A and B are shown apart, each in its own frame.
Chain A
Amino acid sequence: MTNKLKLVMVGNGMAGVRTLEELIKLTPDLYDITVFGSEPHPNYNRILLSPVLAGEQTLDEIILNPLDWYSENHITLHTSWTVTEVDRVKRIVHATNAAGEIKSAPYDRLILATGSNPFMLPVPGRKLDGVLAYRDIADTQAMIDAATKYKHAVVIGGGLLGLEAANGLMKRGMSVTVVHVGEWLMERQLDKVAGGLLQRSLEERGMQFRMGAHTQELQADKNGRVASVLFKDGTHVPAELVVMAVGIRPNTALAEKMHLHCERGIVVSDTLQTVTDPRIYAVGECAAHRGIAYGLVAPLFEQGKVLANHLAEFGIGRYTGSLTSTKLKVTGIDLFSAGDFMGSGNDDVSGSTEEIILSDPHEGVYKKLVIRNDQLVGACLYGDTVDGSWYFKLLRDGRSVADIREKLMFGESNIGDVGHEGHNKAASMPDDAEVCGCNGVKKGAICKAIKDKGLFTLDEVRKHTKASASCGSCTGLVEQILMFTAGGDYSATPKKKAICSCTDHSHQEVRDAIRDHKLLTNEAVFDFLEWKKTSAESKATGCATCRPAINYYRMSSWPKEALDDPQSRLINERSHANIQKDGTYSVIPRMWGGETTADELRRIADVVDKYNIPTVKVTGGQRIDLLGVKKEDLVNVWKDIGMPCGHAYAKALRTVKTCVGSEWCRMGTQDSTQMGKDLEKAMWRMYAPHKVKFAVSGCPRNCAEAGIKDVGIIGVDSGWEMYIAGNGGIKTEVAEFFVKVKTSEEVMEYTGAFMQLYREEGWYLERTVHYVNRVGMDYVKKKILDDEAGRKALWARLQFALDGEPDPWFEFDKAQVDTRQFEAITV
């Protein structure tokens, strides 16, 4: 009917269908799509077979794409058809069904998504009735049926899948023995101590174990059904049901028959193309990428995204591998592991590992963190997994943990966190408990969205529920809820995080490109880095996430050369005031060091009267906020007040809070007010990756609260102490002592140098505390304290950048303020 390209997919499982979903989102009309699936079902969530077995969910609830979805998207679906042959020369696939009939389909592009097969121990009796693998709906149903008729079950394999199967069968009333060849349970995810705790807790629930046992034979009863398991040591246990869960193998049978290169899976490139035939892709558990066949859902979805991107002929996506973490789906047992949880000890190449261990056998809590070269490289948690996602993030980011080492074990909440009543155990929270305090999202709503809409990633949950979409302090909780609800092998994968969906490049890569290649305009950046464009665009225009970032990177990298683009700034920085919920604005004039005069106050009072400004408020930063100013009044309000712009709306230097200091205070040792004014006058108009606040106190009583500012200066008798990277916001972060200096000139130089370093290296929307955490305090000290010439150069560059910068409230042309925005057109 059409000349659309023909896309055929072999396999109808999670990774493959997710790929099609991504493809349809990108380009709904490029392909005629045909899918062959051996199972009689549409795509379902295989991870949730365990809750189905345990009777906690039904089969209907785990269907991800109902049949309607296939028809709505014009996908031809052949269920219960197994592809048995592929003619790569004529490009035709041939499938057979149970009746032995044959169906064929031609292809231009072929996706192999054949998944994996359970590995069956090669012992006598493995083909008896009642011996099963645990892989699909049919297996699960057979186990559920067996549980109604029989009493004794044996699960061979004490890994993740085996324990979930054993737990489910036990819940259905069977007496279950787990046979495990290893010394302890889940040895690929747990160390010996945690494995022992797990075993004890499962034993308390009635599960039995045969550890270190080698299966010799499965013995039959007179009807040919399995009756018992015989071990090498001659003992045996009764078993009318035997479940083999000793591992899975990528299903490469078809690929091998097609003469595609297979080694631990179908070998694919970073674009998921098979190395043998670029028309053919492989995705999911059957694919081997850089020697690894992944078995967890998140990496597979990431592969799917890259593959869809390539099929859609965008061609810039690359899959570069994933880190994975594990969580057991046995209700009531908390267990998490990630990375090198065993601690590999001494290793000449990568250095030796150290372990931090907390063990409380009485409470059933065990935590082990593995550290190498000041980085967290592995974690194994049992009994208390609340910080699993935080540890996983640290592990993935690879940032130095030297500065938080002593607090690391006690978790993220120990480092200061507000906004959700200190709740930190997702599982024990009631459905009506609020998870996201910013957007008022309750746990029940999140669980419902995850189930109803089939969400798998934090981003998807954010989009659908708004939970964790604002301040982000509940991110850990939301990730946990996701783990519990969507399935246990949740993992957040990208090693490198793209700025936004317009690109695969990270903040750092974009920064580097702008600096190294002198990209002065947005267009140059979009061209050079091949920014994606929407179908409606002839050239890329970015989005609301990347454009403000690029605009900042250009300006901070090339001061006086790269021009500000006001249309790439969000409204506050475009209108130089702070938009309020009703569309009016707030105006905060600058008061140097928090000091004002009768004259200024009189002008402010007159303006309030003249423009009917409804609210006047004293801010936390020692300034005055006029709220409810109409946009068309802004220009006149600024003019009538006649004070400089306070930048209270901008990613820029905001306030410099000061105490009274030695001029008046009987305790004061230094003139903190003057120091504050000097700092503010030197550095106002300074745009930065995020807002910046300073404070100066005149003595160690620290009335200006310098300990929670980006730069806090505290006067002492012999000079000034400088503290950096504090934050009083979502997570209270206490500023760290940086250096002690003698003179106010030095305060200026060191502060300026730190600011310039942050301006040149910080990622957009990264506060100083996050910047310093990322690069490490030692690095900042090396750059500023140890390198005098470097420090002076930084300070000089900041002064150069700020020299002649306009006040946007008065110098509209120079500050590129488009004054048309203040006037409405009337009809």
Chain B
Amino acid sequence: MTEWKVICKVDDIPVLGARRVQRAKGVEVAVFRNAEDKVFALLDQCPHKRGPLSQGLVFGETVVCPLHNWHIGLVDGCAHAPDEGCTTRFAVRVENGEVALDVQELNTLAVDDTTPA
């Protein structure tokens, strides 16, 4: 049984924007909201040179990395072709306007990699 942790309300995330979620350990998680009010969560680190994806411009189901303009899919965390590479995805649950992440994933996914850049 998945243990969900409520992070914030959907409205706490700017439309076509993101928030950063600080974890006990590991690189932050970026939580995105698009124009359709869908919420996505990715490790806040571009697969290219570790740029903070939370700072990127969001359109459709894509975020553009602020450092070198790589386009990363919000659904799968993977770079659009011809660029290659994926960042870690996190499961998201939205219920009653509240965004929740999987506690186990928060505690275990990509926790060893702490150094930005």
A residues apposed to B, CB below 8 Å: 453, 463-464, 533-534, 536-539, 541-544, 547-548, 566-571, 574-575, 579, 581-583, 818, 820-821, 824-827
Whether A570 and B24, one on each chain, are in contact in the complex, defined by CB atoms closer than 8 angstroms, is: no
Decide yes or no: A544 and B35 within 8 Å by CB, A464-B82, A536-B61, A583-B117 being known contacts.
no
- Beyond contacts A543-B62, A579-B52, A583-B50: 12 other A-B pairs, Cβ-Cβ < 8 A, are A463-B82, A537-B36, A537-B60, A538-B36, A543-B60, A544-B69, A567-B16, A568-B16, A574-B55, A583-B116, A824-B21, A827-B21
On chain B, the residues within 8 Å of A547 by CB distance are: 57, 59
Find the A residue at minimum CB distance from B20.
A824
Whether B58 and A567, one on each chain, are in contact in the complex, defined by CB atoms closer than 8 angstroms, is: yes
On chain A, the residues within 8 Å of B34 by CB distance are: 541
Total A-B Cβ pairs within 8 A: 100
Whether A543 and B36, one on each chain, are in contact in the complex, defined by CB atoms closer than 8 angstroms, is: no
Option from A537, A544, A566, A820 in Cβ contact (under 8 Å) with B64: A544
Interface string of B38-77 (1 = CB under 8 A from A): 0000000000011110011111111010110101000000
Whether B59 and A542, one on each chain, are in contact in the complex, defined by CB atoms closer than 8 angstroms, is: yes
On chain B, the residues within 8 Å of A827 by CB distance are: 5, 7, 21-24, 101, 106
Find the A residue at minimum CB distance from B58.
A567
Closest chain-B Cβ to A462's Cβ sits at a distance in Å of: 10
On chain A, the residues within 8 Å of B15 by CB distance are: 567
A824 to B22 Cα, complex, angstroms:
6
Closest chain-B Cβ to A377's Cβ sits at a distance in Å of: 36
Decide yes or no: A826 and B17 within 8 Å by CB, A536-B61, A581-B117 being known contacts.
no
A820 to B31 Cα, complex, angstroms:
13
Whether B14 and A818, one on each chain, are in contact in the complex, defined by CB atoms closer than 8 angstroms, is: yes
Option from B21, B61, B62, B117 in Cβ contact (under 8 Å) with A825: B21
Q: B8 near A: Cβ within 8 Å? A: yes
A542 to B34 Cα, complex, angstroms:
12
B residues apposed to A, CB below 8 Å: 5, 7-8, 12, 14-17, 19-24, 28, 31, 34-36, 49-52, 55-62, 64, 66-67, 69, 71, 82, 101, 106, 116-117
On chain A, the residues within 8 Å of B52 by CB distance are: 579, 583
Find the B residue at minimum CB distance from A572.
B66
Interface centre among A464, A534, A824 (most CB of B within 10 A): A824
A824 to B12 Cα, complex, angstroms:
11
A569 to B55 Cα, complex, angstroms:
11
Whether B35 and A826, one on each chain, are in contact in the complex, defined by CB atoms closer than 8 angstroms, is: no
Interface centre among B7, B59, B64 (most CB of A within 10 A): B59
Decide yes or no: A820 and B59 within 8 Å by CB, A571-B66, A581-B49, A581-B117 being known contacts.
no
Closest chain-B Cβ to A237's Cβ sits at a distance in Å of: 51
On chain A, the residues within 8 Å of B12 by CB distance are: 820, 825
Q: Which 3 A-B pairs have the closest CB atoms?
A: A582-B117, A571-B66, A544-B64
Option from A453, A548, A566, A581 in Cβ contact (under 8 Å) with B67: A581
Option from A541, A570, A574 in Cβ contact (under 8 Å) with B35: A541
Find the B residue at minimum CB distance from A825.
B21
On chain A, the residues within 8 Å of B28 by CB distance are: 824
A536 to B38 Cα, complex, angstroms:
11
A574 to B14 Cα, complex, angstroms:
12
Whether A571 and B55, one on each chain, are in contact in the complex, defined by CB atoms closer than 8 angstroms, is: yes
On chain B, the residues within 8 Å of A533 by CB distance are: 60
Closest chain-A Cβ to B4's Cβ sits at a distance in Å of: 11
Whether A826 and B51, one on each chain, are in contact in the complex, defined by CB atoms closer than 8 angstroms, is: no
A544 to B71 Cα, complex, angstroms:
9
* 28 A-B pairs in the complex with CB atoms less than 8 angstroms apart: A536-B61, A537-B36, A538-B36, A541-B16, A541-B35, A541-B58, A541-B59, A543-B62, A544-B57, A544-B59, A544-B64, A548-B57, A567-B14, A567-B17, A567-B57, A568-B16, A569-B57, A570-B66, A571-B66, A579-B66, A579-B67, A582-B117, A583-B55, A820-B14, A821-B55, A824-B28, A827-B21, A827-B24
A818 to B55 Cα, complex, angstroms:
12
A533 to B34 Cα, complex, angstroms:
13
Find the A residue at minimum CB distance from B99.
A825
Closest chain-A Cβ to B78's Cβ sits at a distance in Å of: 15
Whether A825 and B20, one on each chain, are in contact in the complex, defined by CB atoms closer than 8 angstroms, is: yes
Find the B residue at minimum CB distance from A538.
B36
Decide yes or no: A534 and B14 within 8 Å by CB, A541-B35, A581-B67, A827-B106 being known contacts.
no
Find the B residue at minimum CB distance from A818.
B14
On chain A, the residues within 8 Å of B59 by CB distance are: 541-544, 547
On chain B, the residues within 8 Å of A574 by CB distance are: 55
Closest chain-B Cβ to A440's Cβ sits at a distance in Å of: 13
On chain A, the residues within 8 Å of B64 by CB distance are: 543-544
Closest chain-B Cβ to A575's Cβ sits at a distance in Å of: 7
A567 to B33 Cα, complex, angstroms:
11
On chain A, the residues within 8 Å of B7 by CB distance are: 825, 827
On chain A, the residues within 8 Å of B55 by CB distance are: 571, 574-575, 579, 583, 821
Whether B22 and A826, one on each chain, are in contact in the complex, defined by CB atoms closer than 8 angstroms, is: yes
Interface centre among B5, B52, B56, B106 (most CB of A within 10 A): B52
Option from A463, A582, A826 in Cβ contact (under 8 Å) with B116: A582
A575 to B21 Cα, complex, angstroms:
18
A464 to B84 Cα, complex, angstroms:
10
Whether A825 and B22, one on each chain, are in contact in the complex, defined by CB atoms closer than 8 angstroms, is: yes
Whether A818 and B17, one on each chain, are in contact in the complex, defined by CB atoms closer than 8 angstroms, is: yes
Whether A825 and B60, one on each chain, are in contact in the complex, defined by CB atoms closer than 8 angstroms, is: no
On chain B, the residues within 8 Å of A825 by CB distance are: 7-8, 12, 19-22, 31
On chain A, the residues within 8 Å of B106 by CB distance are: 827
Closest chain-A Cβ to B116's Cβ sits at a distance in Å of: 5
Decide yes or no: A541 and B14 within 8 Å by CB, A825-B20, A825-B21, A827-B7 being known contacts.
no
Whether B60 and A536, one on each chain, are in contact in the complex, defined by CB atoms closer than 8 angstroms, is: yes
On chain B, the residues within 8 Å of A582 by CB distance are: 116-117
Decide yes or no: A539 and B67 within 8 Å by CB, A582-B117, A820-B12, A820-B19 being known contacts.
no
A537 to B34 Cα, complex, angstroms:
10
A70 to B28 Cα, complex, angstroms:
43
On chain A, the residues within 8 Å of B82 by CB distance are: 453, 463-464
Interface centre among A568, A579, A827 (most CB of B within 10 A): A827
Whether A541 and B60, one on each chain, are in contact in the complex, defined by CB atoms closer than 8 angstroms, is: yes
On chain B, the residues within 8 Å of A544 by CB distance are: 56-57, 59, 64, 69, 71
Whether B35 and A537, one on each chain, are in contact in the complex, defined by CB atoms closer than 8 angstroms, is: yes
Option from A464, A567, A583 in Cβ contact (under 8 Å) with B51: A583
On chain B, the residues within 8 Å of A538 by CB distance are: 36
On chain B, the residues within 8 Å of A463 by CB distance are: 82
A66 to B8 Cα, complex, angstroms:
51
A544 to B58 Cα, complex, angstroms:
8
Closest chain-B Cβ to A669's Cβ sits at a distance in Å of: 46
A825 to B99 Cα, complex, angstroms:
12
Decide yes or no: A534 and B60 within 8 Å by CB, A579-B67, A827-B106 being known contacts.
yes
Closest chain-A Cβ to B2's Cβ sits at a distance in Å of: 15
On chain B, the residues within 8 Å of A534 by CB distance are: 60-61
A186 to B36 Cα, complex, angstroms:
58
Find the A residue at minimum CB distance from B8.
A825
Find the B residue at minimum CB distance from A465.
B82
Whether A570 and B23, one on each chain, are in contact in the complex, defined by CB atoms closer than 8 angstroms, is: no
Closest chain-A Cβ to B32's Cβ sits at a distance in Å of: 11
Find the B residue at minimum CB distance from A567.
B16
On chain A, the residues within 8 Å of B101 by CB distance are: 827
Find the B residue at minimum CB distance from A542.
B59
Find the A residue at minimum CB distance from B80.
A463
A434 to B49 Cα, complex, angstroms:
21
On chain B, the residues within 8 Å of A575 by CB distance are: 55
A463 to B69 Cα, complex, angstroms:
11
On chain B, the residues within 8 Å of A824 by CB distance are: 19-22, 28
Interface centre among B23, B82, B101, B117 (most CB of A within 10 A): B82
A134 to B31 Cα, complex, angstroms:
60
Decide yes or no: A570 and B116 within 8 Å by CB, A537-B35, A541-B34, A827-B106 being known contacts.
no
Interface centre among A534, A547, A821 (most CB of B within 10 A): A821
Option from B14, B22, B36, B56 in Cβ contact (under 8 Å) with A571: B56
On chain A, the residues within 8 Å of B36 by CB distance are: 536-538
On chain A, the residues within 8 Å of B61 by CB distance are: 534, 536-537
